Amino acid sequence: AQQFGMTEALELLGIKAVNEGTSTGSQWFSGGEVIESYSPVDGQLIAKVKASTEADYEKVMQAATEAFKTFRLMPAPKRGEIVRQFGEKLRQYKEPLGKLVSYEMGKSYQEGLGEVQEMIDICDFAVGLSRQLHGLTMHSERPSHRMYEQYHPLGVVGIISAFNFPVAVWSWNTALAWICGDVCVWKPSEKTPLCGVACQNIIAEVLRENNLPEGISCLINGDYKIGQLLNRDTRVPLVSATGSTRMGKIVAQEVAARLGRSLLELGGNNAIIVTPDADIKMTVIGAVFGAVGTAGQRCTSTRRLIIHESIYDKVKDAIVAAYGQLRIGNPLDQNNHVGPLIDTHAVEQYNKALAQVVAEGGKILVEGGVLTGAGYESGCYVKPAIAEAKNDFAIVQHETFAPVLYLLKYSGDVTEAIEIQNGVAQGLSSAIMTNNLREAEAFLSAAGSDCGIANVNIGTSGAEIGGAFGGEKETGGGRESGSDAWKVYMRRQTNTINYSTSLPLAQGIKFDL
């Protein structure tokens, strides 16, 4: 990846050959084992990061809890100013950071830049929000009483993020948490630790330039064991976790065991319903980008197409033809559409899914396979595949984090398609392609899609940050980024003030002394 300016990018981002993996801001340390980050792009070792030990974690928690004591008192719009400067820095670092995301994670450079753009967008959103952390005022039932609510900072927010959005998920959480007056401790995926180091370096510059204390933004590195420290720590009122449903169930139980709050953004099994009234051209773009973009490694990736039988062959042929145009290869080369999977373990899962869909009676329409030879040395490049399947196949019910698309057929009205779409354990993103108002509204109605995201004439992936992001059922129920998602990062307090000279009790209770 030399020709793509990776050395310069790493240098600009402050990535060394061996990096400390624990940080409280300007302080970096780590006593743990070395994590090696290999690029799925070319199989090369990019750099090493030292994992955090329990003792490192303890130092971080001390810095974070100490920082919270002062940060919570800074006026919210002033905290917004810090986030504004963070957004400015991200604009400055957009290219190198986008490049690192692309090289360490394997998504296309365009998508790497897009991910940094999402970070910039959430900063802008959070800056405005820093003057709008509104609570309500209510009318008291008692005379000369005033009642209102206020939102206060919550404390230390733990963030556990996944490899597929190695930088944006952190910022959706931190940008909101910071304007809310919280301090953050981030454990990035052990598959993308360098993205974590790079982001921490960027925010550290902002914190230093503003003379802010250590501990507002902290980084820890390691596997699930270090994440578990956050889950079990009563000093962490909120753990925000993005990743698999398997991981989310563990986080939820551990955090709930101490009655902490968790914000979960887990797996999806996203479908596009293609009705007889669909615009086929738009359907093809939405479905193909949804299924093969990020090599099928978005939680919003399109896994299923539910196509009406009357247009089934037409849609199938158009999608299969589009797959014929896909160029698979180095994601930093902007001529390619599809980059590698994150690692060879993901390739195994992909192979298993293709074998299983056939074993369950599915028919392969576009052959998959692992690519070999020049340019594919990492062993992580696979061909996006399409199979005809049934919704009740065990493999179709399962989220395979790879470019495998299942075509399903329906023959009745839109109700049948909605039933198929909802007939999975996950509930993140969903879409309908139709120019028929009745179908579109039925899909969006109370009896429609059961997902957190439901789109009309748009695919399932590529949500904007302005809306609340997340989903139902096994997706975990959490909402991140836009709308009123900020509320989970604050504690709500109801205040009643009596400015009379007597003490009337609520509910009209008389208590004469």
The residue ranges that bind ligand UN1 (CB under 6 A) are: 118, 164-165, 242, 298-300, 461-463
d(CA 455, CA 431): 4
Half-sphere exposure of residue 461: CA atoms within 13 angstroms, side-chain side: 27
Q: How far apart are CA 440 and CA 408, in angstroms?
A: 19
Q: List, in sequence order, every beta strand (DSSP E) within 399-451.
A: 404-410, 426-427, 429-433
Tokens read off for 393: 């196949």
Minimum separation from the CB atom of position 45 to ligand UN1 (A): 26
Q: What are phi and psi of 9, to 5 degrees?
A: -60, -45
Nearer to ligand UN1, 118 or 182 (CB): 118
| C-alpha distances in Å from residue 329, one per residue of 3, 221, 378, 471 | 15, 30, 11, 32
Q: Indicate the residue among 238 and 299 with the shorter CB distance to ligand UN1.
A: 299
C-beta nearest to ligand UN1: residue: 463
> Min. distance of Cβ 430 from ligand UN1 in angstroms?
12
Quick one: 170 or 410, whose CB is closer to ligand UN1? 170
Smallest distance, ligand UN1 to C-beta of residue 265, A = 6
Distance CA 168, CA 62 (A): 26
CA 27 vs. chain centroid, Å, equals 27
CA angle 468, 473, 476 (to 5 degrees): 55
Give me the least distance between CB of 118 and ligand UN1, in Å please: 6
Compare residues 302 and 336 and give the one whose CB is closer to ligand UN1: 302
* Residue that has been written with the tokens 């504004």 in this structure: 84
221/242 with CB nearer ligand UN1: 242
Name the residue nearer to ligand UN1 (CB basis): 181 or 293: 293
Q: Which residue has the tokens 């539910």?
A: 306
CB of 348 to ligand UN1, least distance (A): 21
At closest approach, how far in Å is the CB of 243 from ligand UN1? 8
Choosing from 118, 190, 214, 265, the catalytic residue is 265
Residues 302, 272 contacting (CB under 8 angstroms): yes
Query: Under a CB-based contact definition with an 8 Å cutoff, are residues 302 and 291 in contact?
Result: yes
Contacts 24+ apart (CB under 8 A), 505-509: 506/141, 506/142
Query: Helix (H, G, I), strand (E, B), or coil: what is residue 56?
Result: helix
Q: Closer to ligand UN1 by CB, 79 or 298: give it.
A: 298
Q: How far is the CB of 85 from ligand UN1 (least distance, A)?
A: 24
Query: Which uninterrupted H or E stretch holds 491?
Result: strand 490-498
Q: Active site includes 265?
A: yes
Q: What SS3 class is residue 436?
A: coil
Active site residues: 265
